[in-house]
Amino acid sequence: MTRVYLDNNATTIVDPKVYDVMSPFFCQMYGNPNSLHSFGSETHPALRTAMNQLYKGLNASDDDDIIVTSCATESNNWVLKAVYFDKILNGDKNHIIISEVEHPAIYSTCKWLETLGVKVTYLPVNHDGIVEAHTVKDFITDKTALVSIMWANNETGAIFPIKEIAQICKEKNVLFHTDGVQAVGKIKVDVQDVEVDFLSFSAHKFHGPKGVGGLYIKNSQELSALLHGGEHMGGRRSGTLNVAGIVGMGLAMELANDAIEYENKEVRRLRDKLEDALLQIPKTFVVTSRDKRTPNTMLISIKGVEGEAMLWDLNKAGIAASTGSACASEDLEANPVLMAVGADKELAHTAIRLSLSRFTTEDEIDYTIDVFKKAVIRLREISGSYAE
């Protein structure tokens, strides 16, 4: 059966080159890098190469830290909780600013911090699903400890004005974190051009392995450790190094950055071809203008067709898509990002996210267009709630 994977914002296929570079570190070079014997030390060259690839990939300087974590959820939790300990519990601040369309790894952590007495501002987004930089300025007070705004949204692909927001935070002397999960490897992320204090990323979103991610920390900025223990990663994140994961993530970032031009031209062309075809179906609409999105993403609403029913039809034809974030897809609430951009509840229940990658082919897009159009006709007939 034909199988088409269009859920690349949830996770991606591991690039075969990444798989190859990782494989010796399971059964051959399996030593603990901290051990003094040769089993340990023989892992060092590959670890050094991988860390260099990560520094180069983000254009970080030697004064910065890149700390490998288990995923972006960990990186996001770390920043929020450490800022709580450092600046709120043990300081004189009490306020954090995020957007109302952050991933649950930020949003739910902030909800939890509220139970501890932290004041959280959830910034609204405009009709493109983007936080406008001036709103950040409007809400910063002398009690604000941290602003955390994502670089690109996982559901709409909307790219946020991170450079301007970073500048505002710098002027106001407030720490700035960005969740860069959906930006790294898809668009240019240069931490010297865009001066963020902290940036989270996750390898499996750019054709690296699952279970490994990172936190970039500017100028070795103070940030209490979340995991205490054996002083790994300079004492900033203890736990035996995930050697294969780190080696894989380093190469994955290099390959993804090398492919950014392809992503911008070819992946964008395929996404736009799919989008143009699907928008010919009456009463469909796509959130966020094309030029304001990552090149691989489209969130489309189809009037009269429940997102879950559509997903089921696509899945039967071998096509993987999503109704939004897979992290929340078991809960059948209306898509919160669509609600935030002002869609009505019906439209918000009919959202399908299609996300491509550099491995997506033209044949797969043609097949998807065909299946999608037939599924809409079928489901609209069944639901009967749709009239042209």
Catalytic residue ranges: 327
Q: Which of 203, 156, 137, 186 is nearest to 348 (CA)?
A: 156
| 72 vs 375, beta carbon nearer ligand 7TS | 72
The stretch among 92-100, 259-267, 298-306, 325-333 that binds ligand 7TS (CB under 6 A) is: 325-333
Question: Binding segment for ligand 7TS among 135-143, 280-288, 324-332, 357-365 (CB under 6 A)?
Answer: 324-332
Least Å from the CB of residue 133 to ligand 7TS: 19
Shortest Å, Cβ 387 to ligand 7TS = 33
**Site size for ligand 7TS (CB under 6 A):** 18
Q: Is 172 exposed, middle or buried (0-12, 13-18, 19+ CB in 10 A)?
A: middle
Q: Please, what sign has the CA dihedral across residues 161, 11, 72, 64?
A: negative
Q: Restricting to residues 13-72, which ones interact with ligand 7TS according to CB under 6 A?
A: 71-72
Q: Are 38 and 29 in contact (CB under 8 A)?
A: no
Instruction: Looking at 59-152, list the stretches that DSSP marks H as alpha helix, in order from N- to C-terminal side.
Output: 72-83, 104-115, 133-139
Rank residues 39 and 122 by Cβ distance to ligand 7TS and give the closer one: 122
Binding residue for ligand 7TS, selected from 14, 146, 150, 246, defined by CB under 6 A: 150
Query: Shortest distance, CB of residue 186 to ligand 7TS, whole angstroms?
Result: 11
> Closest distance between ligand 7TS and the C-beta of residue 181, in Å?
4
Nearer to ligand 7TS, 47 or 326 (CB): 326
x/- map, 326-355, ligand 7TS, by CB under 6 A: xx----------------------------
**Beta carbon nearer to ligand 7TS, 112 or 386:** 112
CA distances for 309 relative to 43, 277, 302, 313, 319, angstroms: 48, 20, 11, 6, 13
Burial 194-229 (b: 16+ CB within 10 A, else e): bbbbbbbbbbbbbbbbbbbbbbbbbeeeebebbeee
Q: What is the pattern of x (binds ligand 7TS, CB under 6 A) and - over residues 63-82?
A: --------xxx---------
| Full DSSP string of 312-374 | HHHHHTTEE-BSS-GGGTTS-S--HHHHHTT--HHHHTTEEEEE--TT--HHHHHHHHHHHHH
Residues 230/236/240/243 CA torsion (nearest 10 deg): -150
Q: Does 149 help bind ligand 7TS (rule: CB under 6 A)?
A: no
Q: Does 202 bind ligand 7TS (CB under 6 A)?
A: yes
Question: In angstroms, what is the minimal distance from the CB of 11 to ligand 7TS?
Answer: 7
d(CA 204, CA 188): 18
- In this complex, which beta carbon is closest to ligand 7TS, that of residue 183 or of residue 376? 183
Task: Give me the 80-119 binding string for ligand 7TS, x by CB under 6 A, dash otherwise.
Answer: -----------------------x-x--------------
Per-residue x/- mask for ligand 7TS, residues 274 to 313, rule CB under 6 A? ----------------------------------------
Q: Which pair of tokens denotes residue 222?
A: 């103070």
Among 12, 77, 182, 350, the residue binding ligand 7TS under the rule CB under 6 A is: 182
CA dist 294 and 102 (Å) reads 16
Strand partners, 217: 65, 198
To the nearest whole angstrom, how small is the minimum distance from the Cβ of residue 180 to ligand 7TS?
8
| 365 makes contact with ligand 7TS (CB under 6 A) | no
271 is a contact residue toward ligand 7TS (CB under 6 A):
no
* Contact present, 144 and 83 (Cβ < 8 Å): no
Q: Which is nearer to ligand 7TS, 181 or 191 (CB)?
A: 181
For residues 121 and 182, which CB has a smaller minimum distance to ligand 7TS in the complex? 182
User: Residue 119: in which H helix or E strand, if any?
Assistant: strand 119-123
- Residue 264 CA to residue 202 CA, distance in Å, equals 20
In our burial notation (b when 16+ CB lie closer than 10 A, e otherwise), range 90-124 reads: eeebbbbbbbebbbebbbebbeebeeeebbbbbbe
Q: Hey, how many other C-beta atoms are within 10 angstroms of the C-beta on 164?
A: 15
For ligand 7TS, the binding residues (CB under 6 A) are 9-10, 71-73, 103, 105, 150, 154, 179, 181-182, 202, 204, 213, 325-327
